[in-house]
A and B are shown apart, each in its own frame.
Chain A
Amino acid sequence: AQRVTQPEKLLSVFKGAPVELKCNYSYSGSPELFWYVQYSRQRLQLLLRHISRESIKGFTADLNKGETSFHLKKPFAQEEDSAMYYCALSAPYAGGTSYGKLTFGQGTILTVHP
């Protein structure tokens, strides 16, 4: 079974401080991992995915297979980064009902204070 754990429900930092949102996963194969963001009163949207190795809005995330982690990082937080962040895992292999579905963690509410 696949599982995603975000240990911090709430995270508060000051503007300009580094921020790291933790994500750990449990999956027997090689998963696809994503970060989604939900700004206040807006729909959930994709922030970044590990296969793209991209940086979006200054955020990066590195897949660490040894630690089964996919932490989201930003060196200098901005007030507009305040949002709910979800880490998600997708099982890429065919077969079984796990294929094709995105499993989310419980989410972390990030608040960036001025």
Chain B
Amino acid sequence: DAGVIQSPRHEVTEMGQEVTLRCKPISGHDYLFWYRQTMMRGLELLIYFNNNVPIDDSGMPEDRFSAKMPNASFSTLKIQPSEPRDSAVYFCASSLRATGGDGYTFGSGTRLTVV
């Protein structure tokens, strides 16, 4: 298994543009998580899914952020419109079961820069 795959690795966009980040979890993992990493706030959970269903989206900053998981092998995180303060590294992670007993497997992240 290639692990959790995220694309793109880097994204530079202008303020106001739509940004879509993509994630392919490990096959068989029932849980998928989106995190945002910044120096100021560390790793923040944005949203997570269980069996493709969003369970907790309380970490989504505002309505400009949306996430979908149309099937077990694909998820997107969309920002529309993007703002400079959205600049961060966005990580996707998947997990086999509910608790972190086996740990999460993280993707390489997408470094987003909004200018």
The answer to whether A and B assemble together is yes
> Which residues on A are within 8 Å of B, measured CB to CB?
6, 32, 34, 36, 42-46, 49, 51, 86, 88, 90-92, 94, 97-107
Interface size on B, residues (CB 8 A): 26
Q: How far in angstroms is the closest Cβ of chain B from A9? A: 9
* Distance in angstroms between the alpha carbons of A43 and B101 in the assembled complex: 19
> Which residues on B are within 8 Å of A, measured CB to CB?
31, 33, 35, 41-45, 48, 50, 55-56, 58, 91, 93, 95, 98-101, 103-104, 106-109
Q: How far in angstroms is the closest Cβ of chain B from A30? A: 11
Task: Give the chain A neighbours of B56 by CB distance below 8 A.
Answer: 97-98, 101
Q: How far in angstroms is the closest Cβ of chain B from A31? A: 9
Task: Give the chain A neighbours of B100 by CB distance below 8 A.
Answer: 32, 34, 49, 88, 90, 102
Task: Give the chain B neighbours of A101 by CB distance below 8 A.
Answer: 33, 45, 48, 55-56
Task: Give the chain B neighbours of A42 by CB distance below 8 A.
Answer: 108
Considering the complex, give the chain A residue whose CB is closest to the CB of B100: A90
Task: Give the chain B neighbours of A91 by CB distance below 8 A.
Answer: 99
Contact across chains for B101 and A49 when beta carbons are under 8 A apart: yes
Considering the complex, give the chain A residue whose CB is closest to the CB of B48: A101
* Distance in angstroms between the alpha carbons of A32 and B104 in the assembled complex: 13
* Distance in angstroms between the alpha carbons of A90 and B96 in the assembled complex: 14
* Distance in angstroms between the alpha carbons of A105 and B17 in the assembled complex: 31
